[in-house]
Amino acid sequence: MASNRIGRINEEIQRELASLLRTIKDPRVHGLVSITNVDTTNDLRYAKVYVSVLDKSDVKDVIRGLKSAGGYLRRELGRNLSLRYTPELVFQEDTSIDKGTHILKLLNDIEQKESGGHHD
């Protein structure tokens, strides 16, 4: 029951943060920035926010900009969501897309070796 509630809260936070991204004035937060996932602790004290940035060279700057805007984002979340506690936001780069791409490349390499390497 509680995990279902946390799941809904994660979705709400993700949706709110996605819309709030456009209101951040920090110049470091630019380009195509996406909130890919939110993982809130059971006590609602912390929310790990996974961020994906199209231009990988900007990731560190974007994360710094988001951390700098963290107070503003948390205040807006508290205003827009009716939670007893507004969690502390912890921003982290989402590398799952890169990992998925890497695994796909490895699988393709194996497939090409198997199809082209049989000489009996």
Helix (H, G, I), strand (E, B) or coil at 89: strand
Q: What is the pTM of this model?
A: 0.80
Q: Tens digits of per-residue pLDDT, 28-81?
A: 998 889 999 999 999 999 999 999 988 888 899 999 999 999 999 999 999 999
Is CATH 3.50.50.60 what the domain over 2-94 is classified as, yes or no?
A: no
State the pLDDT at residue 119: 52
As a whole number of angstroms, the distance between CA 14 and CA 42 comes to: 16
State the pLDDT at residue 1: 47
The alpha-helical segments, DSSP class H, found in the chain are 2-20, 59-68, 70-80, 96-116
24 band by pLDDT with thresholds 50, 70 and 90: very high
